[in-house]
Structure 1
């Protein structure tokens, strides 16, 4: 294997005056990332195959290079968290370069530079701390009503140690107007950088994201499932507005909606909908959501939307303000991911970590563009919500419709009424409907069975071959012939079980390989 140089960063322990190095392999060129011998965790995929495919396409990488990049970014995220905790007031930001093989840490205290450099990271000694730049941006936010229409927004840019104020390149004197705005806001001109821009951001209404839902005649998309419902974009509906799901069935009500200033909403769903820890990959499956760790500037991030599918780019800034025609929105994350109308409210995800819900953007997926998202961590904190993740117990509202060809597996009849109660179904027991199948390669999905069932309790057990990690999905056919995932079992064990209370209709079980390949056995019942 080619040995990549190590990219490291240090957490300075102030009380001991020592540096604790956090080392991780760098991503660069076409070399391979060296993994420790016997490290089974290193063999587990860092992201679903669809994420790797989208990263490979949008970053022009091989699948292994995309995997290596995600590994570096995961370690960089942990390193940034550790260094920030020890730098305190001297913290001024961090970012990965374009190839994600160099992590730069900015601080205002020169005494920290040697520790950072000795660990292998690139130190940057700057004049303004992150807190100072946030204060400058807050002053601009306070004066947002006075910003000219030629100013599409502003954001904190750690790499230049300034707050960037954008000025429309196609509007005469826009840059002068941007400078005047900064002066009128009472901020230090040295902390502001005016930059010409082609951007003309607008909220992305009429959209389907991870999963379509409608509000009146408008369509938007689910961002992420939370206990009791889901989060999405605030501009999609006002508090008290009803929503209908992808199958046009009553879904819920907007319990909270904030737009402008913020762009988030919380939809409380009815008992017919169950949250799942997944995002539509628009390739016939779903992406897992394991948490909400914030990715650093320079990290890759992917957006799922029904108009343009799965697209990826980089995080450009973590604290951006956008001046929409409807008003100013602050605290957004700026990305280089493209988006188009029909993508609003949808999911931004880094690896398997939820990042935010699509707010708006500029450009399209033909020419490229800029898209902003409302950070999901802030939505969860401000509304006291619990994100549904892959580690949660229970079966939580429905997940994305799979835009895929019809299942080719032969239909099966519904399990007979003489079967054992659904809750008694297990892989070793007799009875129930049994199906066997084979997964030929890691990442492959296969429909195990298709059947029509009456209203009742579904229960199933999937036994994977030794050493393999297979996940089980129960999907229901909705209006238009599309399939939505209504229940999912995805642990790291060799056996998956699930239960689901469902109405009468057409169902199918789908088996997907998280790792490994071989023969599987499925047993299921409905009562």
Structure 2
């Protein structure tokens, strides 16, 4: 069961991560406000979007508000069209686009205000192709969906062994134009290293979402963090799911479990719901190494083959992360989206928070 963006949840992300930086420069007074965004997050998101797309601050703010409205619309469409939807994304103007298998489904989507595309490959066909690709597990590679082209993307990093990568490339070639292969620099690594923030066993991660089971506070964090460290400075690790998934639970014994994401300038971002990320959606993340950074969702349901094993169902974004950011929070305005998992090839990867909340039966604080 996944938590809808419409569901009222007292949200948020852990403000236990440490450190400060200078606040972002305030946007011009002529820039419209964005519903649910704190000033600091709005400024960072607008600045990033304006720079990446070469648009004015006013246009960036308008686009972010349009995206937020579109994601709400997609939530409704998922409920009404269910299995008829192959995939979905936000176009360059922030409007919702759904790929569907039939003309009847396209008509329903169009009536609801979305652009609909009848595509040649169904969700079942793409899932079958994905299963074949994932049967060839190669460290430092990933498999994700490109909804704009209704196509799977195999990404191979330089650190992948040539002989193993060749087998994966061969498998991709057998699947024809349902798959394309891309090559990136470096490797794909989970984001944890020695240092400070939430610490234990000589390792550092970032505090994730503060959650509770009705009587006890916990921190919902990256599974590779809780699997690797038994006792943190905030409390003991209670559970870990890694690899396969990348979520875990830390008992919060600090007596402090604020319902807000830290923004590193003394302010926080309130979050009122949890939801799944959408391709094309502009997002931000908070972590103890790179602090507040923003970017765009590049893919969802991505399988990343870390050296320690494969993790599936991840969200891929362009937001900067680095070692020590693991466990930190991915969000879009007032909506929590994910938990920092790793990085590779210039992208960052996040465990969907809805799946983790459901697995542990937790509510956001």
If the length of structure 1 is used for normalisation, what is the TM-score?
Answer: 0.57
Counterpart in 1 of 2:352? 375
- TM-fit CA distance, 1:240: 7.6
2:221 aligned residue (227, 232, 241) = 232
2:250 aligned residue (264, 267, 283) = 267
Counterpart in 1 of 2:71? 77
Task: Number of aligned residue pairs: give it.
Answer: 327
1:333 aligned residue (307, 311, 315) = 315
1:52-451 maps to which residues of 2 (within 5 A)?
Answer: 52-60=42-50, 63-100=57-94, 102-117=95-110, 121-141=114-134, 143=135, 146-149=136-139, 152-168=141-157, 176-182=166-172, 188-198=175-185, 200-206=187-193, 212-227=197-212, 228-238=217-227, 241-244=230-233, 251-270=234-253, 272-362=254-344, 369-388=346-365
Asked whether the equivalents of residues 138 and 165 of structure 2 are also in contact (C-alpha less than 8 Å), the reply is no
Asked whether the equivalents of residues 77 and 294 of structure 1 are also in contact (C-alpha less than 8 Å), the reply is no
- TM-fit CA distance, 1:153: 0.9
- TM-fit CA distance, 1:329: 1.0
Counterpart in 2 of 1:49? 39
- TM-fit CA distance, 1:67: 3.4
In 2 relative to 1, CA 335–43 (structure 1 residues): closer, same or farther, beyond 3 Å?
A: closer
Asked whether the equivalents of residues 275 and 353 of structure 2 are also in contact (C-alpha less than 8 Å), the reply is no
Radius of gyration: which is bigger? 1
Instruction: Choose between structure 1 and 2: higher helix proportion.
Output: 2
Separation in structure 2 between the aligned mates of residue 239 and residue 344 of structure 1, nearest angstrom: 12
Asked whether the equivalents of residues 147 and 181 of structure 1 are also in contact (C-alpha less than 8 Å), the reply is no
Instruction: Choose between structure 1 and 2: higher strand proportion.
Output: 1
- TM-fit CA distance, 1:298: 0.6
Q: Which moved further from structure 2: 72-81 or 57-66?
A: 57-66
Post-superposition CA distance 1:197-239 (Å, at most 9, x none): 335211111278xx92101111111111001211111111328
Asked whether the equivalents of residues 304 and 347 of structure 1 are also in contact (C-alpha less than 8 Å), the reply is yes
* SS of 1:307 mapped into structure 2: coil
**Greater relative CO, 1 or 2 (CA 8 Å, sep 6+):** 2
Residue segments in structure 2 that go unaligned for 5+ positions in a row: 1-29
Separation in structure 2 between the aligned mates of residue 351 and residue 277 of structure 1, nearest angstrom: 14
Separation in structure 1 between the aligned mates of residue 268 and residue 113 of structure 2, nearest angstrom: 37
* SS of 2:336 mapped into structure 1: strand
If the length of structure 2 is used for normalisation, what is the TM-score?
Answer: 0.80
Residue segments in structure 1 that go unaligned for 5+ positions in a row: 1-31, 34-41, 245-250, 364-368, 389-527
Separation in structure 1 between the aligned mates of residue 118 and residue 186 of structure 2, nearest angstrom: 31
* SS of 1:237 mapped into structure 2: helix
- TM-fit CA distance, 1:120: 5.5
CA root-mean-square deviation: 2.8
